[in-house]
Structure 1
Amino acid sequence: MRGPALVAGAVALLGGLTACGDGAATNAPRPTAADRATATDGPAPTGRGTGSPTPSPPQAAAESPTAGDTAASASSSARTDGRCHSSELRARVGRVDPGAGQRNFPVVLTNVSDRTCTLYGYPGTAFVDASGRQLGPDPRRAPSAPETVTLTPGASAWSGLSFASPEISGARAATPDALLVTPPDERNSLEVHWTAGEVPVGGNESTVSVTALAPGTGP
């Protein structure tokens, strides 16, 4: 009976093929080259053109100025550039204020520039004759507490110029042609024509003194 035997053999062979088809390793599709790269190499490294920012070199932060450095720089600049220069000032001598044998004059410096500037300390002063020769010693600084005087355009600061009246003190006297006034920390002097008569230039009681600059035009 070959017919049934052949049928049985065919059924058995079909069952064996079906059992082999259930194994994943036998019929699974082969991985492509891209699949192998993904499975073995992991995520592709980030490089140029990915949009990721390039980290700054470590020294960049150290070289950037801090807020404190900026403030210090601004402060230094203000101290240097904020001073009133001789070319920005006009000098004059105010009315005499006599008292107890003394002659006292306000020496006034006015800001004639278009910017705000500052003065600090004592002005330099010297009496000179018509040829520019100094008369008498340099005036001395009277004890006082200097302060920074801020001058807006048109504002003034003053210093007191004082000496004993020569006719009372007996000091050797002369009549100057001008008073030279040098603003603090400046080299160029401002010349003011002197019209207040004799000043002491030698001998006893010939000292002339000046005070530190203060706001305003006089006492």
Structure 2
Amino acid sequence: MVYTTRSARHRALFVGAVAVMGLLTACGNGKDVQSDPVTGSGTAAPATDGASSPGAASSTPSDAGSGSAPGVSSSAPVATRSGDGSASSKDTAAASSRCHTSELRASVGRNDPGAGQENFPVVLTNKSGRTCTLRGYPGAAFVNGSGTQLGADPKRGSGAPATVTLKPGQSAWSGLTFSNPEVSGAKKATPAALLVTPPNERDHLKVTWSGGPVPVSGNSSSVTLTVVSPGTAP
């Protein structure tokens, strides 16, 4: 048995007590101990108006814009974010120069049929007093007299979108094409009007339809639209 003197035991107890007090002082009661704030970088997705799902809003927008007539999907423009979080000057300029629905007049040109296909130019004319631009696909929908859509949504035809600059009085056109239902055997209907929505706009223009029956379901009932091009016809 190892014998320890009383003074040695007192010194050991004193050292232990000091160590415990130091530990308690360092830890505190949890209220006075704070860690430095942690920061992280991230990119906020552009806000949407509900037309797209949150997942779609965070994706890179296409420059092939579309209109949004009833029953036709639309894609509103989204500014590309620069490094400082502000909209780039290029996208800001494009948005400010875009032709709005209220500045345009819509019409349907003469049919140019061929090989069982009906081909109508849908024309948008700048009726405002300023120069503006169009780019991409318009929206369109055939409707009956009560405004109900006839047939499926038009599909996008092939083509590379290009910006069309319209001075006051100038026009751009998009090709509206479908198979003649008398030839294809598709179920047909005769619309009362065609609703046309300019690219990247939400309001539509109503044009009286005088082009005869259109396919609404069944075989070869697809209707296609092309990107806008300068002029009033091919």
TM-score, reference length from structure 2? 0.62
Query: Mind listing any 5+ residue stretches in structure 2 that lack a counterpart?
Result: 1-83
Write the distance in 1 (CA, Å) between the matches of 2:106 and 2:133. Answer: 15
Q: Secondary structure at the match of 1:158?
A: strand
The within-5 A match list for 1:54-93 is 74-93=89-108
> How far off is 1:73 after superposition?
5.9
- Pairwise CA RMSD: 1.3
Q: Secondary structure at the match of 2:175?
A: strand
The within-5 A match list for 1:90-129 is 90-129=105-144
Which residue of structure 1 aligns with residue 188 of structure 2? Answer: 173
Write the distance in 2 (CA, Å) between the matches of 1:198 and 1:183. Answer: 24
> How far off is 1:75 after superposition?
3.3
Write the distance in 1 (CA, Å) between the matches of 2:181 and 2:91. Answer: 46
Q: Secondary structure at the match of 2:233?
A: coil
Write the distance in 1 (CA, Å) between the matches of 2:92 and 2:220. Answer: 44
Distance 1:112 1:162, change over 3 A: same
Choose 75-84 or 157-166, whichever is displaced more.
Answer: 75-84
Q: Secondary structure at the match of 1:113?
A: coil
Which residue of structure 1 aligns with residue 231 of structure 2? Answer: 216
Based on CA coordinates, which of the two structures has the bigger radius of gyration? 1
Q: Percent identity?
A: 66
Q: Secondary structure at the match of 2:95?
A: helix
The within-5 A match list for 1:1-219 is 74-219=89-234
Q: After superposition, give the CA deviation of every residue in 1:187-211 in whole Å (9 maximum; x if it has no partner).
A: 0000000011100000010000010
Q: Secondary structure at the match of 1:168?
A: helix
Query: Mind listing any 5+ residue stretches in structure 1 that lack a counterpart?
Result: 1-68
Write the distance in 2 (CA, Å) between the matches of 1:201 and 1:159. Answer: 20
Q: Secondary structure at the match of 2:152?
A: coil
Q: Secondary structure at the match of 1:160?
A: strand
> How far off is 1:79 after superposition?
1.3
Q: Secondary structure at the match of 1:137?
A: coil
One-letter amino acid of the counterpart of residue 125, structure 2: T
> How far off is 1:74 after superposition?
4.6
Aligned residues: 149
Q: Secondary structure at the match of 1:108?
A: strand
Q: After superposition, give the CA deviation of every residue in 1:133-164 in whole Å (9 maximum; x if it has no partner).
A: 00000010001111000000000000000000
One-letter amino acid of the counterpart of residue 114, structure 2: G
Q: Secondary structure at the match of 1:87?
A: helix
Q: Secondary structure at the match of 1:195?
A: coil
Query: Which stretches of structure 1, 4 residues or longer, exceed 4 Å deviation after superposition?
Result: none
One-letter amino acid of the counterpart of residue 217, structure 2: G
Write the distance in 2 (CA, Å) between the matches of 1:106 and 1:99. Answer: 14
More helix by share: 1
> How far off is 1:77 after superposition?
3.1
TM-score, reference length from structure 1? 0.66
